[in-house]
Amino acid sequence: MANNKQYKKIVIALAGLACAGSALAQSSVTLYGMMDTGITYVSNQGGHHNLKMDDGVNGPNLWGLQGTEDLGGGLKAFFQLTNQFQVDNGSFMPNKSLFSRTSIVGLSDERFGKLALGNQYDFMTDALYFSGDDPAELSGHFYDFRAGPFTKLALPSNATGAFDWDRMAGETVNNSVKYTSAVYNGFSAGAMYSFGNVAGSIGTGNGQSFALNYAQKNWGVNAAYTNLKYVVSGEGDVSVRNWGVGGHFRFGNWITNALFTTVHNSYNGGSVYEGSVGAHYYFTPALSAGASYMYMKGNDVVDNNHAHQVAAIVDYALSKRTSVYVLGVYQRASSGGYAQINGMNSSDGASSGQTQAVARVGLHTKF
C-alpha cells in the first residue's frame, strides 16, 4: 500500500511538471500529410499506349511532423520533417530515404523573419510555386510541370536530363541555411546558401538562392533566382542556374496566374525558357475547373526544340479534405522533337513522335 501511494505521488508530480512545462513553453506538434492515386492513360510512351496506376500527381504523397515552441517575446523555435512516398507500392521515392522531402529546424520572429537550416526548398519553389504563381497548380499539377523535348539539357542528378528543369515541383537543397524576412508593407525577401561540405574547397558543390516578393490581399508578384553546383566526376563543378518571375490574381470565383522561368546548364551551354498562363473557376464551393497553356523553347544545344502544352482539370470536393478529379495534358513538340510530359521518367517515357497526351481519373485526400 505504501508503494502504491508513493507511485501515485510520483505520477501526480510528473503530471504537474508536464502541465507547467506546457503552459510555459506553449509547444505544439502536428502530424500532417496528403495522398493521391489514380489511373492514367498515356497516348504514346516509347511508341505504345499505356494504361497505368500512378500516384502523387494531383499533389505529392506526403506525411510529416512539424512543431513549434514559443520562446517568448515573439520568438519561436520550429521544426519540420517530411517524407514523400509511393502510395501504389508503399515504398520510398527512388533513391530517397525517410525524410528526404524536408528536414529543417530553425527560429522565427514576428519582426525579424525566419531562419531555417537543413534540407529544404530553394526559392524557385518557395517564392514562385508556394505563392500561387504556377499555372500547373491550377490544371495538370505534376504532369503539367516543365519537361518537354529537351533531354539534351543533360542536367546532372536528373531523371531524364530535363525533368522538372525549373525546380517548381518541390526540389530541395541539402546542407542549406535559408533566411526569409518578415513582411514590410507587402514586401519580403529571402536568401539561401548551401554548403558543399568539401574539405579545402569551400566553393565546391555549393549553391545560392534569392527571392523578392510583393503581396496584397488578392494579388502578388514574385521573383526568384537559384544557382546550384554539382560535383561531376572528371568535370569538377557543373553549375545549373534558374531564374523566374510570376504573379497571381484572385477575384470573385476566379484564380489566375502567369509564370516565366529559365534554366541554363554551364557544362554544355544548354538553355530553355517557358512562359505559361492559367485560370481556375469555382462553380460551387465543391465543383471547380482549371486550364493552362505553356510554351517552352530551347537553344541550339537542345536542337532549338520548342513545344506547346495545354492542360485542364475538373475537381469535385467530397469534403474539405477529399476530392475526386479528372485531368488531361497534351504536348506538341517541334518537328524532329520527341514530346515528353513531366513524370514520364522511364527509359521509354518520351513519345516516339511530336505529340504526347495523358488523361487521368484520381482521388486526392489530406490529413
* pLDDT digit string (tens) for the chain, length 367 residues: 444 444 444 334 434 434 444 444 578 999 999 999 999 999 999 999 999 999 999 999 999 999 999 999 999 999 999 999 999 998 888 888 899 999 999 999 999 999 999 999 999 999 999 999 999 999 989 999 999 999 999 999 899 999 999 999 989 999 999 999 999 999 999 999 999 888 778 888 899 999 999 999 999 999 999 999 998 877 778 999 999 999 999 999 999 999 999 999 999 999 999 999 999 999 999 999 999 999 999 999 999 999 999 999 999 999 999 999 999 999 999 999 999 999 998 888 999 999 999 999 999 999 9
DSSP reduced 3-state for 251: strand
Predicted pLDDT at 26: 73
pLDDT at 263 (0 to 100): 98
Distance in angstroms (rounded) separating the CA atoms of residues 154 and 145: 18
Provide the b/e sequence for 267-292 (b: ≥16 CB within 10 Å): beebbbbbebebbbebeeeeebbbbb
Q: What is d(CA 231, CA 204) in angstroms, rounded to the nearest whole number?
A: 7
For the chain, how are helix, strand and coil distributed in percent, rounded to 5?
Answer: 10, 55, 35
Using alpha carbons, list the distances in angstroms from residue 53 to 37, 317, 333, 342.
Answer: 7, 21, 26, 16
pLDDT value, residue 234: 75
Give residue limits of the domains in the chain. 25-366
What local confidence, expressed as pLDDT, does residue 258 receive?
98
CATH class in words for 25-366: mainly beta
Give per-residue pLDDT as tens, 90-114. 888 888 889 999 999 999 999 999 9
Q: What pTM was computed for the model?
A: 0.89
CB 27 within 8 A of CB 18: no
3-state secondary structure (DSSP) of residue 131: coil
- pLDDT per residue as tens digits for the range 11-26: 344 344 344 444 445 7
Q: Of 179, 166, 182, whose CA–CA distance to 104 is shortest?
A: 179
Alpha helices in 172-329 (DSSP H): none
